[in-house]
Structure 1
Amino acid sequence: MLADPRELDRTAGTMMPAAADIEQRLLFLEVTPDDIRLLREIHPLLLPRLPEVIAGFYRHLLAMPVLRLLLRDPVVLDRLHHLQGKYFQTLTAGDYGTEYVRHRLRVGLAHQRIGLAPEWYIGAYRKYLGDLGPVLQELLTDRPALFLPTYNALMKIASFDMGLALDTYIQASRQQLRDSEARFRAAFGQAAVGLAQLSAEGRWLRVNRKLQDIVGYSEEELRAMHLSDLTAPEDGHTDAPLLRALADGELETSSRERRYLRKDGKQVWVKTTFTNMQPDGSAAALVAVIEDISQRKRFEEELMHLARHDALTGLANRTLLLDRVSQAIAQARRSGNQVAMLFLDLDRFKTINDSLGHDAGDSVVVEVGRRLKQAVRDADTVARFGGDEFVVLLPELPHEHIAAALAQKILTALFQPMLIQGHELAPACSVGISLFPRDGTDGKTLLRNADAALYQAKALGRGNYQFYSEEMNARTLDRLTLESGLRHAVERGELQLKYQPQIELASGHIVGAEALLRWYPAGQDLVMPDAFITIAEETGLIVPIGEWVLRTACAQQVAWRRAGLPALRMAVNLSARQFRQPGLDAMVARVLADTGCHADALELEITESVLMDRADAAAVTLQRLSDMGVQLAIDDFGTGYSSLSYLKRFPINALKIDRSFVSDISSDADDGAIAGAVIALAHSMGLTVVAEGVETRQQHDFLRQLNCDLAQGFYFSQPLPAAALEHILIDGEAKR
């Protein structure tokens, strides 16, 4: 695009040579007064012929493809025609002073600005000088002796013009270079990243303000330093090979992240990009772009920490632990030592969470993590796996008794009370231990086996530690198999209820039945509740299974009633997890409504330990059930630590004496006395007493003498399918 005329005038003015310089140039070209006179004489004759010369000139330019692209804009071409026409009109006018030179510079600038290279523009002079020759010869036909002097004069002025044209290109290029250098200096000085020039040997030659800010040194100080003077010792070994590769041409550019040492002694992370700009080995061979990436590195470190540490406690997580296990195993292979994995969880954490809330639970977890860190060695790793599960990794153990000693130290530390939200809590824990190489040769196997040992520790009463053994692994596999099958037992129809009659001792009549759960996995033997109820509790499967039991038992009670059989009270056990499940009363009400079972025909049995665990909450739940009309019984009474006077606070209807008292009731005076006292006191409180596990005539007779109300056990009947009990009810037969 053609430049603005005012801008052309302004630029041409800056390029104007002095008048003396103009005279000097004309003198050098031997322009004489005779030359000027000859040109002035031919001027009026030449003017009418100029349009055809100018047209031929531009036809010649447009014949070249590369030039045609530059002149494709008709507006630009028209303005160039106009400028060139004015130029040709002054070419032979004989006045070659300041105004002529200014106009000549404007024409040259116009062609330079559209991108016409000097070799094309200067070469074009040959064209119009060649075209003017025949025109001059024609005009001077009557004076042939003047042709050569006139043409020679024209050549001198054309040479003068070519010099001016070269001035426009040279000075325009110089100005562009000055502008470029100014922009570079501004960009170099104000860049948001560090910029520098270095020698091929790594000496700082020039640095910008940002680099000075990054490293804390002034430009003068840096010029006296080498690249390696800034590089931190951890990364310094990379400088010499890098400089050598750049100097030898093996690399044109190289980007790396490294640490620089600031003047104040602090380290700063930078990304350096070195480029060999002068591969011939001259002084300023390298250009460096140096970006401060400390903030990004801190962010990456934070992300890495979050990815490898527990957010609540700051302890290692599973990812970091397994990484350290791999390192510990590799080290142990070299040293011949052992590695221990301690898997632990808190024994009463759920109770704390449920009773005091998750904030209190989090505080307990944090305090446990702190105590574990205090208990272990500096080389050990404490990790949290979520919830109340922790793992301690012990590398480089010469003897396994060190692991046992540390496990005991952990048990002792966590048994000490901790003050959480004004409550003094002692969560305690159980610990399972596995050892490399005896129990596994990789982290996941050691974890799995430590978990199996933990399960065994819990089964043995909690608050202890156990080493892994193959027998534990077999038990763990059995447990996993049971758990997997139990998850689908309801939908597969594998669960059944058996009903054990409850006998009124005074009359010998069947007045109730206890629903007892049995599991018949497809293609396998019967699984008794003792083998799977604990698993159901721990996994939460007891909640849907428990509702199925309640619904099935209530539906069976209604079926017997509608069949005209004697009205029986249906007793159903509630597990600890069921009882604490939110909305228990709503679930019971829904089942009663769905099945049509009367509330007073249902008796729910709860162990005394469940009531003692969270007495206030238990009282609220029991009251809601009692208000519905549901009967409530304390199961296995005598196995816990409650007393009848304490149980008065609950809306209880019945008391079931545990079979452990009944078994020796007729032969052990103490058991007999205890049973008698319990029965008498329960009656004084208006409670019905049920004896469990009655298996002999002597037990039956003794309980009857003590005025026990009801009894159940193999003496009367084993648990029966619904159809079998129905036959007994129809026949009116029961063993007396």
Structure 2
Amino acid sequence: MPTHLDASATPSSHRPRLLLVDDEPRVLASLQEMLKGSGYAITTADSGTAALACLAEMRFDLVLLDLLMMDVDGHQVMDFINQQDTKADVIVVSGTVGIESAIGALKRGAHDYLRKPFSREELLRTVDNALRQRDLQQINRRMVAALALSEKKYRYLVDASPDMIYMLGHEGRFTYVNDRACQMLGYEREELLGQHYTALLHAEDHERALYVFNERRVGERASRDVELRVTCRAGPTHTHDAADTSVITISLNAIGMHREKRDPHTPTYVGTYGIARDVSARKRAEAVIHHQAYHDILTDLPNRVLFKDRLGLAMLQARRKHTELAVMFIDLDRFKLVNDTLGHGHGDKLLQQVALRLKDCLRKGDTLARQGGDEFTIVLPDLRSRDDARVVADKFIERLQQPFDLSGNEVHISASIGVAIYPEHGESIDELLRNADIAMYRVKDLGKNGHAFYDPSMHDALHQNVALEQHLRRALERNELEMYYQPQIDAASGRIIGAEALMRWNHPVRGLIMPGEFLPFAEESGLIVPISEWMIDTLCRDMAHWGTDGADPLTLSLNLSPHYLDHSKFFETMRNALQRYDIGPGRIAVEITENICIRNPQYAIEQLKKLGQLGVSVAIDDFGTGYSSLAYLHRFPIHTIKIDQSFVQQISDEDGHYPVVLAIISISRGLNLDLVAEGVETEVQARYLRAHGCSTMQGFLFHRPMPLGGFVNVLNS
């Protein structure tokens, strides 16, 4: 639907009329806002159909046009403009489109191409240039129309033309050039007059220009919009081809001039009249568009389109030569951590440095491409054996393990690399890429920072994971999830003072599944939100049940995912569950991992403070295994820290020295926090912890996690 907006109070007869066309309302509103106050009469169209209606109804000076629209696309709108001769110039305003679409727009007469996103200054400059060029073209047309009135006016108008205008004699030598020709070519008029046209042509275009530059034909058969390269004296806007010359590309229109004899059917050829326009800027823009269509803007590596093209060619050569090639799929480990801690700007710098390191490990004929995000793909043609691919993968691992310097921040990362061999692991492009991707995920599952060759068994494992995720989606509906509880003991008295709630999945086929096996799928798929809400509700319901049994008040802790804590409704879910089951918030403790402290520290502090205001206490789980800052830890409204079981399991000697455990105990004392040791399995561990000030413990030495009924029995025994 078209809408009209007067950009200022200037009389409309003096204002350029603009039509803005885009089917994205936000983009259309943004364009309109950017042009507000610039003195233009603006009409907007929210679809290609609306644009056609506007163009049929009124005339516009300039159309800002999106190519990719759902009903009538930009090319069809431009065809309508050209067919109806509406006299409107077009600036294409579009995002990432195919090179064919971009070039198609330029060939249909688009004045310029603005790539999203762009700044207001860039938009205003482009619009202003287009309107200025339009004014010049209108002036030029008026000048050409007045040629017949006066020879003096004719010469003035020709010399004022923005295009090169020339005449050649019948021998192909210049008999006239206008001022623009001298400016464009860098010569004085006296140097050009009498010169043969071939002296200006690029050597490779001589044959092509033989019947074009020195045109003898007239009418429809005459040359139109023929592009040729000419050499001229080097200038700041020219592409250098030699030490003292440069090359520009011109678009040439030429027509033969004839003098009639007594027989009008056999006129005498006397020379050529031609007009040439410098289109070098347009050619450079086309080259940039072509490059960007096939390359990643951030790293300047080939993108997935160009990578598939090169992989296809490499496969054809391998098939002819009966050789092998390798396809690698590389995913950076812990890249998200860099983005979360240092910001996306540093993440982009890291990707650029990674690309340079990977390129240094490759041969000249290898292709490295960026698929997107932190994923890279590589094709290694002409393998002598798969050991060649293994050597390259080892080089990648070694180079990426060296520290990266990001504006003074030292960053360490690693990579997981999957390798597929043609033709053994696939005979199509998509099959090779898919199998290399599967091998990469196998490396992820095994602990990351390594490489693996594809094996058919990996495909079976992937199908199992996909099936597991599908079953998990139905587990909530089928009531297959269950809460287990592991008591927390006061080691001095042996009394149960709390418990940690742990989730289990009673799979109908596989039996009891531990959370470590299915929670990663829940995190990736977004199921962690409904699962966490189920955990909160179940915990409060079970606690209400204990209350009716007369059990002593206990503090129950629940480990919640950082992804769920980022969810805006988690606080309301917790508060509503406490109210629904009439549970005192002081009996609930939420356990979080240290890594929440580095995702968005200020947001985490605000969220946890809301819990504290509600009365729910907060514990840091697996303390010492993450990356939290003690400065942030001091600011967090936490009440308890838990010693990770990996540190507890190191205690094997009651008289030994275990500095990490002692350090965590000291931190808890210094911050006046409660302390719980996890994974206590031996008397030696229990005595060591108790001797150094940790009296609250949980682990197999005391109790294993148990279902609700078993836990109630333990409480009542």
Whether TM exceeds 0.5 here: the answer is yes
Q: Which moved more, 1:269-278 or 1:408-417?
A: 269-278
Deviation at 1:374, TM superposition (A): 3.3
- The answer to whether 1:496 aligns with 2:475 is no
Cα deviation, 1:399-428, whole Å, max 9, x if unaligned, reads 433333232222222222232232222223
Alpha-carbon contact 2:197-2:213 (below 8 Å) kept: no
Whole-angstrom distance in 2 between the partners of 1:193 and 1:304? 27
Deviation at 1:293, TM superposition (A): 0.8
- The answer to whether 1:377 aligns with 2:363 is yes
- Identity, in percent, stands at 32
User: Which of the numbers 162, 185, 189 marks the counterpart of 2:159?
Assistant: 189
Deviation at 1:516, TM superposition (A): 2.8
- The answer to whether 1:460 aligns with 2:446 is yes
The 3 A distance-change label for structure 1 pair 283 and 341 is same
Alpha-carbon contact 1:439-1:468 (below 8 Å) kept: yes
**Structure 1 match to 2:177:** 207
Alpha-carbon contact 1:235-1:259 (below 8 Å) kept: yes
Q: Which moved more, 1:265-274 or 1:533-542?
A: 533-542
- The answer to whether 1:553 aligns with 2:539 is yes
User: Which of the numbers 196, 199, 202 marks the counterpart of 1:232?
Assistant: 202
Q: Residues 612-627 of structure 1: matches in 2 within 5 Å?
A: 624=609
**Structure 1 match to 2:79:** none
Deviation at 1:268, TM superposition (A): 0.8
Deviation at 1:292, TM superposition (A): 0.6
**Structure 2 match to 1:346:** 332
CA RMSD across the alignment: 5.2
What SS does the corresponding residue of 2:293 show, helix, strand or coil?
Answer: helix
Q: Which moved more, 1:337-346 or 1:524-533?
A: 524-533
- The answer to whether 1:450 aligns with 2:436 is yes
Q: Residues 431-580 of structure 1: matches in 2 within 5 Å?
A: 431-483=417-469, 488=473, 492=477, 496-502=481-487, 504=489, 512-519=498-505, 528-538=514-524, 541-542=527-528, 545-561=531-547, 566-575=552-561, 577=563
Deviation at 1:320, TM superposition (A): 3.3
Whole-angstrom distance in 2 between the partners of 1:292 and 1:267? 11
**Structure 2 match to 1:296:** 282
Structure-1-length-normalised TM-score: 0.59
Q: For residue 182 of structure 2, what is the amino acid of its counterpart? A: Q
May I ask how many residue pairs the two structures share in their alignment?
542
Whole-angstrom distance in 2 between the partners of 1:335 and 1:479? 38
**Structure 1 match to 2:149:** 179
Alpha-carbon contact 2:308-2:429 (below 8 Å) kept: yes
What SS does the corresponding residue of 2:399 show, helix, strand or coil?
Answer: helix
Deviation at 1:439, TM superposition (A): 3.1
What SS does the corresponding residue of 2:418 show, helix, strand or coil?
Answer: strand
Gapped runs of 5+ residues in structure 2?
Answer: 1-145, 235-244, 259-264
Alpha-carbon contact 1:272-1:291 (below 8 Å) kept: yes
Q: For residue 481 of structure 2, what is the amino acid of its counterpart? A: Q
Q: For residue 232 of structure 2, what is the amino acid of its counterpart? A: R
**Structure 1 match to 2:134:** none
Deviation at 1:540, TM superposition (A): 5.7
Whole-angstrom distance in 1 between the partners of 2:346 and 2:685? 51
- The answer to whether 1:314 aligns with 2:297 is no
Alpha-carbon contact 1:635-1:658 (below 8 Å) kept: no
Alpha-carbon contact 2:404-2:412 (below 8 Å) kept: yes
Deviation at 1:364, TM superposition (A): 2.2
Deviation at 1:554, TM superposition (A): 3.0
**Structure 2 match to 1:274:** 254
The 3 A distance-change label for structure 1 pair 236 and 587 is farther
**Structure 2 match to 1:258:** 228
Larger radius of gyration: 1
Whole-angstrom distance in 2 between the partners of 1:313 and 1:276? 51
Deviation at 1:267, TM superposition (A): 1.5
Q: For residue 184 of structure 2, what is the amino acid of its counterpart? A: I
Alpha-carbon contact 2:647-2:661 (below 8 Å) kept: no
Of Structure 1 and Structure 2, which has the larger fraction of its residues in helix?
1
The 3 A distance-change label for structure 1 pair 209 and 245 is closer
User: Which of the numbers 395, 416, 434 marks the counterpart of 2:402?
Assistant: 416
What SS does the corresponding residue of 1:405 show, helix, strand or coil?
Answer: helix
Whole-angstrom distance in 2 between the partners of 1:370 and 1:458? 23
**Structure 1 match to 2:9:** none
Whole-angstrom distance in 2 between the partners of 1:353 and 1:633? 26
**Structure 2 match to 1:17:** none
Whole-angstrom distance in 2 between the partners of 1:273 and 1:555? 85
Alpha-carbon contact 1:457-1:465 (below 8 Å) kept: yes
What SS does the corresponding residue of 2:269 show, helix, strand or coil?
Answer: coil
Q: Residues 34-49 of structure 1: matches in 2 within 5 Å?
A: none
Q: For residue 276 of structure 2, what is the amino acid of its counterpart? A: I
The 3 A distance-change label for structure 1 pair 177 and 421 is closer
The 3 A distance-change label for structure 1 pair 310 and 262 is same
What SS does the corresponding residue of 1:283 show, helix, strand or coil?
Answer: strand
Whole-angstrom distance in 2 between the partners of 1:540 and 1:497? 19
**Structure 1 match to 2:6:** none
Alpha-carbon contact 1:347-1:427 (below 8 Å) kept: yes
The 3 A distance-change label for structure 1 pair 459 and 250 is same
Whole-angstrom distance in 1 between the partners of 2:195 and 2:482? 89
Q: For residue 530 of structure 1, what is the amino acid of its counterpart? A: G
Whole-angstrom distance in 1 between the partners of 2:437 and 2:387? 19
**Structure 2 match to 1:389:** 375
The 3 A distance-change label for structure 1 pair 717 and 530 is closer
Cα deviation, 1:7-38, whole Å, max 9, x if unaligned, reads xxxxxxxxxxxxxxxxxxxxxxxxxxxxxxxx
Q: Which moved more, 1:461-470 or 1:707-716?
A: 707-716
**Structure 2 match to 1:145:** none
Whole-angstrom distance in 2 between the partners of 1:348 and 1:414? 12
- The answer to whether 1:406 aligns with 2:392 is yes
User: Which of the numbers 307, 310, 314 marks the counterpart of 1:328?
Assistant: 314
User: Which of the numbers 329, 354, 358 marks the counterpart of 2:344?
Assistant: 358
Whole-angstrom distance in 1 between the partners of 2:155 and 2:176? 11
Deviation at 1:491, TM superposition (A): 7.5
**Structure 2 match to 1:430:** 416
Alpha-carbon contact 1:200-1:284 (below 8 Å) kept: yes
**Structure 2 match to 1:127:** none
Structure-2-length-normalised TM-score: 0.60
What SS does the corresponding residue of 1:262 show, helix, strand or coil?
Answer: strand
The 3 A distance-change label for structure 1 pair 219 and 660 is closer
Alpha-carbon contact 1:636-1:658 (below 8 Å) kept: yes
Deviation at 1:272, TM superposition (A): 1.9
Whole-angstrom distance in 2 between the partners of 1:593 and 1:231? 87
Deviation at 1:520, TM superposition (A): 6.5
Alpha-carbon contact 2:486-2:501 (below 8 Å) kept: no
Cα deviation, 1:99-119, whole Å, max 9, x if unaligned, reads xxxxxxxxxxxxxxxxxxxxx
What SS does the corresponding residue of 1:392 show, helix, strand or coil?
Answer: strand
The 3 A distance-change label for structure 1 pair 203 and 627 is same
Alpha-carbon contact 1:585-1:621 (below 8 Å) kept: no
What SS does the corresponding residue of 1:455 show, helix, strand or coil?
Answer: helix
Cα deviation, 1:611-641, whole Å, max 9, x if unaligned, reads 8989998996898466765455565689899
Whole-angstrom distance in 2 between the partners of 1:203 and 1:503? 101
What SS does the corresponding residue of 1:433 show, helix, strand or coil?
Answer: strand
Whole-angstrom distance in 1 between the partners of 2:540 and 2:156? 89
